[in-house]
Structures are given as structure tokens and as C-alpha cells.
């Protein structure tokens, strides 16, 4: 028997990720990898975590090791509500669900909204992990025009023709993975207008929002909608946050802030899917966040800012003509566009084989398989010498 013949139809949409297969090649010494996109482990507040685990185990071991509620650890939800208020989203714990990283929030939101054939609006390119999460629910993708130049009726007709409805527009609002770009306030307001016209949900992925290195902070989309409506429970924007890029990804703690009916349905979903996120990790994240969140975020912003500056500087010196790139105000990524006709996947094979250099080719971030001449560079784990050597190699590769 072949057990695969018993798989649900959705399994056909769940394939190995290009990035994942790629990362397996990068263990060998000497390779300069700009592929990863993970935080620098040297910057984790390890001492604060060590102390927090020790304190929680000394004070509350029985609670930390036991089952807990699906909504999440109440003091952590209250702390998050306090943080949200600081960025224009006053709310209380009833609007907050703890998830196992924001990746789980994307999975649950796909599960909550998408029936097969429904449409999800996403950027071309968009976060690869969002496509991965949504794919399990067999949606159709359409290209989100953040500027609002495409009329809502156009999206709706295309979705209808495909046998479903536009359920949501997904976007990473600040320093997006993979482009590093931020949607400005005008774009956010236009997106909200479009969502009203189309009567769809907005999924705001704020995973990188705390990592701003310069420029003015833009209010979250949810804050802008709340300012219009005055009532969080009337808002259609669902905000996904994470501690993975600020404190630690290894504990798997993220959160969703949304209208109560959404949170209540997500709680039921989480209860059915994994009961709750790890109790002890929620308690520890709460303790560390209370102790040092703001100062720690300042520390990592300073470190990543100088790496971004070094990368932009090295690109300017080493890239040949015809190559362009984004200039992110935060986050971990610079997005490079090669001359038309070049293929970044082919280039990667040569980069690894001939130059001990790695990056992520851009096609996988495009729901329609376009973007062959694009690539993503991550600067989060690179020091100045590595950046200089890496961009020099990339320049040689592009010229050769």
C-alpha cells in the first residue's frame, strides 16, 4: 500500500520549501550565508532567560509544568495589552491570544477564514511562511495592490469567478520579509478603504515592527482602523505579533490581537489543535519582557542598524550597474533585483559552488512563481567583515 494515496487533497499543496532545502547545504565551514533570516543568537538576553527559568522553577514549578488555558498566560496577555496601548491599540487581555510564534497565528487564521477556492490577497513577493501556512487551506492567491489602485470590485469578481470570496488581505506592514519595505500611512489607509469596500479582513503581520532603525514609526494598520471606528470589536484588522525577533524564537511565543469574536473562535481552534502554548515559556517570556524588553530591543536595534548600514554601503560599492535594492528602515532583509532575464536560483547554485556564498532566490516568495531575477539578503547574523567579503563575491559573481 502507499499511504500517500490516503492523504487529503490539501497535502498536494504542502511541499518542501526551497529555503529549507537550501539551508541544509549551508553547514559547511567557510560559507558566507546571507540566507538565514534568523536573529543573531549572540544577541539573545541569555542571562535574563537563565534567571527567569530559575525563578519560575523556584517559585511556581507546579504551575509552570502543568496544563494551562488555551487563551494563554493572563499576566503575559495583560503585558501585551499594555504594549499595544503604547502603539495606538488600547485593548485588554480579552483581545489577546497567545500563539506558538506568529507562524502559528498565520496557520490558525488561514484555518479560520479560508475554505478551498477562497481568495487570499498577498504581495508579490510576500512572506514564504505565510504562503506555506495558507496553502494547507487550498486558497487561490491574488496580487494585493497596497496603493489601492485596483478597485475592490475587480478583486471580488476574480474571486467569484474562481468559486470563492476574498477572505483577507495579508501583509507584513513593517520591514517586510522578504523586501524590507514598509507600507506608509497613506498606503495603510488606502488598504483599509479597500478592505471596507471589499468587506474583507486585513491580516497585519507585525513580526518585525519593533526593529526600526531610523525614520518615523508608522501607526499599525489596526491602530488606524481603531482610530476610525473607536471600537476594537468593530475592527476587521487582525494583528499578529511575536517575541521571536526581539527576545527569542526558540520559546515559540507570539500573539494575536483582534476583535473578541475572532479571539474567541481562535481560542476554540487552539484548544482543539494543541491545547495551549508551553506554560513555562509564557511565564518566562513574561518575566523577561517585564525586566528588560525595551532596553533589550534598543540593544539589538543598534546592532542590526550597523549591519544594515554596512550591507547597504557594501552593495553600493560592489554591485554592477542594472542591479537595484531596497533600503529598509528596519528588520533583517534587503531585497535585490537583478537585471531582467537573470535567474537568482541559477546564480545561487554558482554562488555556493564557486564563491562559498549563499542567499535566497526570490521566486519562492511569489505566489505566481514570478520574481526569478530577485533575491533576499539577510544582514541579521553578518558582521562587517563578512558583509564586505560577501558583497564583493556577489559582485564578482554578477560580473562573471
Find the binding residues for its own copies in span 144-173 (CB under 8 A).
165, 167-168
Alpha-carbon gap, residue 251 to 244, rounded angstroms = 8
The CA distance from 259 to 281, in Å, is: 25
- Residue 20 near its own copies by CB under 8 A: yes
Using CB under 8 A as the binding rule, whether residue 262 contacts its own copies is answered as yes
In the complex with its own copies, the residue whose CB is nearer, 15 or 86, is 15
358 binds its own copies (CB under 8 A): no
Does 86 bind its own copies (CB under 8 A)? Our answer is no
The terminus-to-terminus CA distance of the chain in angstroms comes to 51
Candidates 27-35, 59-67, 171-179, 336-344; binding stretch for its own copies (CB under 8 A):
59-67
Q: What's the min distance (Å) between Cβ of 7 and its own copies?
A: 6
For the segment 363-382, give every residue that binds its own copies (CB under 8 A): none
Nearer to its own copies, 166 or 377 (CB): 166
Q: Return the number of the residue (281 or 326) whose C-beta is nearest its own copies.
A: 281
Dihedral angle sign, alpha carbons of residues 300, 305, 310, 311: positive
Give the residue with the Cβ less far from its own copies, 120 or 323: 120
Residue 332 within binding range of its own copies, rule CB under 8 A:
no
Q: Specify the residue, 35 or 391, whose C-beta has the smaller distance to its own copies.
A: 35
Give the C-alpha separation, 80 to 89, whole Å.
Answer: 11
Residue from 151, 163, 215, 250 in contact with its own copies (CB under 8 A): 250
Does residue 59 sit in helix, strand or coil? helix
Phi, psi of 158 (to 5 degrees): -65, -40
Q: Which stretch binds its own copies (CB under 8 A): 38-46, 211-219, 324-332, 384-392?
A: 38-46
> Which residue, 44 or 124, is less far from its own copies as judged by CB?
44
Grid coordinates given for 178: 522578504
Per rule CB under 8 A, is residue 57 in the interface with its own copies?
Answer: yes
Give the residue among 108, 106, 111 at the shortest CA–CA distance from 122. Answer: 106
What is the nearest approach in angstroms of its own copies to the Cβ of residue 234?
Answer: 8
Torsion angle of C-alpha atoms 201, 207, 212, 217, degrees rounded to 10: 20
Q: What's the sign of the alpha-carbon dihedral 29, 32, 34, 40?
A: positive
Residues whose CB falls within 8 Å of the CB of residue 226, separated by 6 or more in sequence, listed in order: 88, 89, 90, 232, 235
Binding its own copies (rule: CB under 8 A), the pick from 50, 85, 349, 385 is 50
Q: Does 244 sit near its own copies (CB under 8 A)?
A: yes
Selected from 17, 94, 306, 396, the binder of its own copies by CB under 8 A is 17
Total residues in contact with its own copies, by rule CB under 8 A? 84
Residues numbered 267-286 forming contacts with its own copies, rule: CB under 8 A: 268-269, 271-281
Q: Which residues, numbered 184-213, are part of the site for its own copies (CB under 8 A)?
A: 199-201
Contact present, 36 and 249 (Cβ < 8 Å): no
* Omega before 125 within 30 of 0, i.e. cis: yes
Q: How many CA atoms lie within 13 A of 121 on its CB side?
A: 27
Site residues for its own copies, window 297-326 (CB under 8 A)? none
Q: Tell me the C-alpha distance between 57 and 323, whole Å.
A: 53
Q: By CB under 8 A, name the one of 22, 35, 81, 100 that touches its own copies.
A: 100
Q: How far apart are CA 143 and CA 157, in angstroms?
A: 14
Choosing from 132, 328, 372, 390, the residue that interacts with its own copies (CB under 8 A) is 132
Q: Is 215 in the site for its own copies (CB under 8 A)?
A: no
Distance CA 301, CA 86 (A): 18
Q: Which stretch binds its own copies (CB under 8 A): 9-17, 306-314, 347-355, 360-368?
A: 9-17
Amino acid at each position: 500500500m502507499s499511504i500517500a494515496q490516503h492523504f487529503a487533497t490539501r497535502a498536494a499543496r504542502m511541499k518542501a520549501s526551497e529555503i529549507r532545502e537550501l539551508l541544509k547545504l549551508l553547514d559547511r565551514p567557510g560559507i558566507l550565508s546571507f540566507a538565514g533570516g534568523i536573529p543573531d543568537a549572540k544577541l539573545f538576553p541569555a542571562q535574563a532567560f537563565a534567571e527567569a527559568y530559575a525563578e519560575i522553577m523556584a517559585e511556581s514549578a507546579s504551575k509552570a509544568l502543568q496544563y494551562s488555558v488555551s487563551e494563554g498566560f493572563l499576566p503575559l496577555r495583560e503585558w501585551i495589552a499594555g504594549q499595544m496601548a503604547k502603539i495606538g491599540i488600547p485593548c485588554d487581555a480579552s483581545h489577546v491570544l497567545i500563539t506558538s510564534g506568529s507562524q502559528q497565528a498565520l496557520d490558525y487564521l488561514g484555518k479560520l477564514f479560508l475554505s478551498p477556492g477562497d481568495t487570499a490577497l498577498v504581495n508579490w513577493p510576500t512572506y514564504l511562511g505565510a504562503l506555506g501556512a495558507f496553502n494547507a487551506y487550498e486558497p487561490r492567491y491574488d496580487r494585493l495592490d497596497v496603493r489601492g489602485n485596483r478597485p475592490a470590485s475587480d478583486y471580488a469578481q476574480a474571486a467569484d469567478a474562481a468559486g470563492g470570496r476574498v477572505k483577507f488581505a495579508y501583509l507584513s506592514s513593517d520591514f517586510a520579509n522578504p523586501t524590507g519595505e514598509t507600507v506608509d500611512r497613506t498606503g495603510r489607509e488606502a488598504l483599509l478603504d479597500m478592505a471596507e469596500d471589499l468587506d474583507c479582513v486585513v491580516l497585519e503581520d507585525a513580526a518585525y515592527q519593533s526593529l526600526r532603525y531610523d525614520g518615523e514609526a508608522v501607526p499599525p494598520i489596526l491602530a488606524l482602523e481603531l482610530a476610525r471606528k473607536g471600537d476594537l470589536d468593530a475592527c476587521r484588522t487582525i494583528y499578529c505579533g511575536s517575541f521571536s525577533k526581539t527576545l527569542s524564537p526558540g520559546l515559540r511565543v507570539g500573539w494575536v490581537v483582534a476583535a473578541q469574536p475572532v479571539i474567541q473562535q481562535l481560542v476554540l481552534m487552539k484548544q482543539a489543535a494543541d491545547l495551549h502554548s508551553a506554560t513555562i515559556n509564557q511565564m518566562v517570556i513574561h518575566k523577561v519582557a517585564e525586566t528588560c524588553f525595551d532596553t533589550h530591543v534598543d540593544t539589538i536595534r543598534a546592532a542590526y542598524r550597523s549591519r544594515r548600514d554596512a550591507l547597504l554601503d557594501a552593495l553600493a560599492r560592489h554591485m554592477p550597474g542594472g542591479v537595484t535594492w531596497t533600503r529598509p528602515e528596519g528588520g533583517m532583509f534587503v531585497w535585490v533585483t537583478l537585471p531582467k532575464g537573470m535567474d537568482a536560483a541559477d546564480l545561487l547554485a554558482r554562488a555556493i559552488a564557486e564563491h562559498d556564498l549563499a542567499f535566497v532566490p526570490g521566486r519562492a516568495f511569489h505566489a505566481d512563481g514570478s520574481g526569478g531575477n530577485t533575491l533576499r539578503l539577510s544582514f541579521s547574523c553578518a558582521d562587517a567583515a563578512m558583509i564586505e567579503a560577501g558583497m564583493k563575491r556577489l559582485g564578482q559573481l554578477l560580473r562573471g
